[in-house]
């Protein structure tokens, strides 16, 4: 069975006992990557349950450094999470809800520790939002059973997608593997089930006994970043300024984007020099903003109640958020993509290169292709890269250098502030043509044409590759090939590490050989 089916089975098997579990001394909400108080499905239900039974609500955050290792979580993402916990703790304290935060050494000990804490607090009910990665679903399935055996109840809710995975199937009852028909079905489903865009309420003020009974829990401090995930003080300050944490920042950013940019999103979204996109991915990935709130807010700016009418920019933006849902649906249905396998098995036999010199040139932004180098330097500096550039650099690594796309996927996870397994894995699968609904393998981006098209004035390149600041005109896209050799070489900018045309031929041949033997 798929991991989600295991969880479903555990929930079905315990349905009666869960419904009959009496509320004891407290109700607990377990925070994961849903670090907000507003429009949080499980938190809201937990607060309702506690209020009805007139007992305190306790918020819990338990993490193991092994979780970060297993998910290759970038230090910048860990830092964002820790800063968000600070904000969350303050917001919850204003509602008299304590936030208890703990680190446990081993990943496998998290469920056991939660049970212990529940018992220590005399809590009877645990609420959490669902995460769709394989290990997380399996863990939750075990926890539902474990708690039920001990006379406690756990509710795991769908929250992070607008349409829960598994809801949309083709006429033949199958999971869609192509985005366009899936998106039409997604729109139709949301229109027919308008409650999907109803926001969950905010938690009520906690029961008055919370401080008297659980006063100690209010004193809890936000944990330190584990070893290997720590930033230097200087980096911490930089990222704090670049990515202010917490749900209030997310709300401000959403409202600014909807006021100033969403209307022109369709025209501007592909131009990396332009701040035409929302920069909200870090908030969706950390759960400081729900996609429900985002889609609803954007839709309400439109003069129609539908998701596919009115302003074009708004429609396109909503369709981009839907990609996030699509990839999570894919992950839930085909969980083997979590196991480092290409979605399309016929692509398993491509002979990839593992040339570290070329890979390191790519990671360090020293390939001699200015658009690629600008993008990689943006990632290294900000922990974020523009979507168009993510496609360009992923295509370059897998199709110009023929380097195993999984090395790029891993590097992205280790550096992105918005690292999200499904979006990242499937984004790489798209660019390397091995994923779900991919770019056909013979479609190979020409980095120079991409550069001319999407950074016509070289503004983005000049920002991130200062060596080329003095290069004017079209030469910015290819300084050695277009008469700016002297400036580029004086500034120490590298020559191209590969010749695109030849690389293209090699790649086409390698894909053809791989597919034939696959």
CA dihedral over 399, 405, 411, 415, signed as positive or negative? positive
Phi/psi for 27 (5° steps) reads -120, 145
Residue 428 annotated to the active site? yes
Q: SS3 for 126?
A: strand
Q: Does 129 bind ligand FAD (CB under 6 A)?
A: no
Residue 278 annotated as binding site: yes
* 356 token code pair: 């570290």
Per-position x/- string for 392-411, each x denoting binding to ligand FAD as judged by CB under 6 A, each - no binding: --x-----------------
Which CB, 127 or 411, lies closer to ligand FAD?
411
Residue 324 annotated as binding site: yes
Instruction: State the nearest-atom distance from the C-beta of 283 to ligand FAD, in Å.
Output: 8
Residue 505 annotated to the active site? no
Tell me which of 182, 243, 384, 428 is the catalytic residue: 428
Residue 387 annotated to the active site? yes
Residue 30 annotated to the active site? no
Residue 364 annotated to the active site? no
Q: Does 428 bind ligand FAD (CB under 6 A)?
A: yes
Tell me which of 349, 380, 387, 446 is the catalytic residue: 387
d(CA 115, CA 10): 16
Q: Which of 280, 247, 194 is nearest to 39 (CA)?
A: 247
Q: Does 274 bind ligand FAD (CB under 6 A)?
A: no
Residue 317 annotated as binding site: yes
Query: Which residues are within 8 A (CB) of 108 and not within 5 positions of it... i.e. 6 or more apart?
Result: none
**Of 4, 168, 372, 416, which one interacts with ligand FAD (CB under 6 A)?**
416
Rule CB under 6 A: which of 323-352 touch ligand FAD? 323-324, 327
Tell me which of 30, 186, 405, 464 is the catalytic residue: 405
d(CA 89, CA 103): 16
Which CB, 121 or 343, lies closer to ligand FAD?
343
Residue 280 annotated as binding site: yes
Residue 33 annotated to the active site? no
Which CB, 279 or 485, lies closer to ligand FAD?
279
Instruction: State the nearest-atom distance from the C-beta of 479 to ligand FAD, in Å.
Output: 26
Instruction: State the nearest-atom distance from the C-beta of 496 to ligand FAD, in Å.
Output: 22
Burial level of 241, CB count in 10 A (0-12/13-18/19+)? Answer: exposed
Q: How many residues interact with ligand FAD (rule CB under 6 A)?
A: 27
Q: SS3 for 327?
A: helix
Q: Does 73 bind ligand FAD (CB under 6 A)?
A: no
Distances, alpha carbon 355 to alpha carbons 96, 405, 409, 414, 495, in Å: 56, 12, 16, 19, 18
Q: Does 298 bind ligand FAD (CB under 6 A)?
A: no
Instruction: State the nearest-atom distance from the C-beta of 110 to ligand FAD, in Å.
Output: 23
| DSSP β-ladder status, 26-30 and 99-103 | unpaired
Q: Does 14 bind ligand FAD (CB under 6 A)?
A: no
- Characterize 64-85 residue by residue with b for buried, 16 or more Cβ atoms within 10 angstroms of its Cβ, and e for exposed: bbbbbeebbbbbbbbbbbbbbb
The neighbouring-strand residues paired with 403 are: 353
Residue 419 annotated as binding site: yes
**Of 131, 133, 418, 467, which one interacts with ligand FAD (CB under 6 A)?**
418
Burial level of 509, CB count in 10 A (0-12/13-18/19+)? Answer: exposed
Q: Does 427 bind ligand FAD (CB under 6 A)?
A: yes
Q: Which helix (DSSP H) or strand (DSSP E) does residue 11 occupy?
A: helix 3-13
Q: Does 299 bind ligand FAD (CB under 6 A)?
A: no
Per-position x/- string for 242-271, each x denoting binding to ligand FAD as judged by CB under 6 A, each - no binding: ---------------------------x--
Q: How many CB atoms lie within 10 A of CB 418?
A: 23
Query: Which residues are within 8 A (CB) of 94 and not within 5 positions of it... i.e. 6 or more apart?
Result: none
Which CB, 203 or 429, lies closer to ligand FAD?
429
Instruction: State the nearest-atom distance from the C-beta of 483 to ligand FAD, in Å.
Output: 32
Instruction: State the nearest-atom distance from the C-beta of 257 to ligand FAD, in Å.
Output: 7
Tell me which of 323, 362, 384, 464 is the catalytic residue: 323
Q: Does 127 bind ligand FAD (CB under 6 A)?
A: no
d(CA 29, CA 41): 10
Residue closest to ligand FAD, measured at CB: 427
d(CA 280, CA 238): 18
Q: Which helix (DSSP H) or strand (DSSP E) does residue 506 occupy?
A: helix 500-517
d(CA 80, CA 225): 10
Distances, alpha carbon 248 to alpha carbons 38, 91, 196, in Å: 10, 10, 23
Q: Does 423 bind ligand FAD (CB under 6 A)?
A: yes
Tell me which of 320, 351, 499, 505 is the catalytic residue: 320
Q: SS3 for 440?
A: coil
Q: Where do contacts with ligand FAD occur on this chain (CB under 6 A)?
A: 269, 277-281, 284-285, 320-321, 323-324, 327, 387, 390-391, 394, 412, 416, 418-420, 423-424, 427-428, 431
State the binding site for FAD. Answer: 265, 277-281, 317, 320-327, 418-420
Q: Which residues are catalytic?
A: 320, 323, 352, 387, 405, 428
């Amino acid at each position: 069975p798929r991991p989600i089916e295991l969880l479903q089975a555990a929930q079905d098997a315990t349905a009666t006992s869960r419904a009959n579990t009496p509320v004891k001394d407290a109700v607990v909400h377990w925070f994961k990557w849903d670090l907000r108080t507003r429009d949080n499905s499980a938190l809201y239900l937990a607060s309702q349950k506690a209020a009805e039974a007139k007992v305190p609500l306790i918020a819990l955050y338990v993490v193991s450094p092994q979780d970060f290792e297993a998910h290759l979580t970038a230090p910048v993402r860990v830092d964002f999470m820790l800063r968000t916990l600070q904000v969350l703790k303050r917001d919850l304290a204003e509602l008299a809800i304590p936030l208890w935060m703990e680190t446990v050494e081993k990943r496998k000990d998290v469920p056991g520790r939660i049970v212990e804490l529940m018992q220590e607090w005399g809590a009877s009910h645990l609420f959490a939002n669902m995460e769709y990665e394989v290990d997380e679903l399996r863990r939750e399935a075990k926890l539902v059973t474990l708690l039920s055996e001990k006379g406690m109840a756990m509710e795991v809710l769908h929250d992070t997608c607008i349409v829960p995975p598994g809801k949309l199937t083709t006429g033949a009852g199958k999971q869609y593997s192509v985005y366009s028909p899936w998106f039409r079905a997604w729109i139709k489903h949301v229109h027919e089930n308008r409650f999907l865009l109803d926001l969950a309420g905010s938690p009520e003020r906690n029961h008055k006994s919370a401080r008297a009974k659980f006063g100690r829990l209010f004193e809890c401090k936000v944990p330190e970043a584990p070893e290997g995930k720590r930033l230097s003080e200087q980096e911490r300050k930089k990222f704090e300024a670049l990515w202010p944490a917490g749900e209030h920042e997310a709300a401000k950013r959403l409202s600014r984007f909807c006021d100033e940019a969403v209307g022109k999103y369709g025209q501007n979204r592909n131009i990396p020099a332009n701040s035409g996109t929302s920069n909200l991915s870090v908030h969706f990935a950390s759960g400081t903003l729900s996609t429900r709130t985002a889609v609803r807010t954007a839709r309400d700016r439109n003069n129609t109640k539908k998701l596919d009418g009115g302003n074009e920019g708004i429609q396109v933006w909503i369709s981009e958020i839907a990609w996030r849902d699509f990839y999570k649906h894919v992950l839930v249905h085909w969980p083997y993509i979590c196991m480092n396998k290409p979605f399309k098995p016929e692509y398993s036999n491509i002979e990839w290169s593992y040339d570290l010199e070329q890979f390191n040139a790519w990671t360090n932004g020293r390939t001699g292709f200015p658009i690629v180098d600008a993008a990689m330097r943006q990632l290294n500096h900000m922990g974020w890269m523009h979507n168009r550039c993510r496609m360009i650099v992923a295509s370059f690594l897998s199709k110009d250098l023929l380097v195993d796309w999984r090395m790029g996927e891993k590097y992205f996870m280790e550096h992105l502030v918005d690292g999200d397994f499904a979006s990242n894995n499937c984004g790489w699968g798209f660019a390397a043509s091995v994923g779900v609904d991919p770019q056909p393998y013979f479609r190979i981006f020409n980095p120079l044409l991409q550069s001319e098209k999407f950074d016509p004035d070289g503004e983005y390149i000049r920002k991130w590759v200062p060596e080329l600041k003095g290069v004017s005109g079209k030469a910015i896209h290819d300084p050695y090939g277009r008469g700016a050799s002297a400036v580029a070489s004086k500034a120490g900018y590298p020559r191209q590490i590969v010749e695109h045309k030849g690389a293209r031929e090699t790649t086409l041949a390698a894909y053809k050989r791989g597919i034939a033997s696959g």
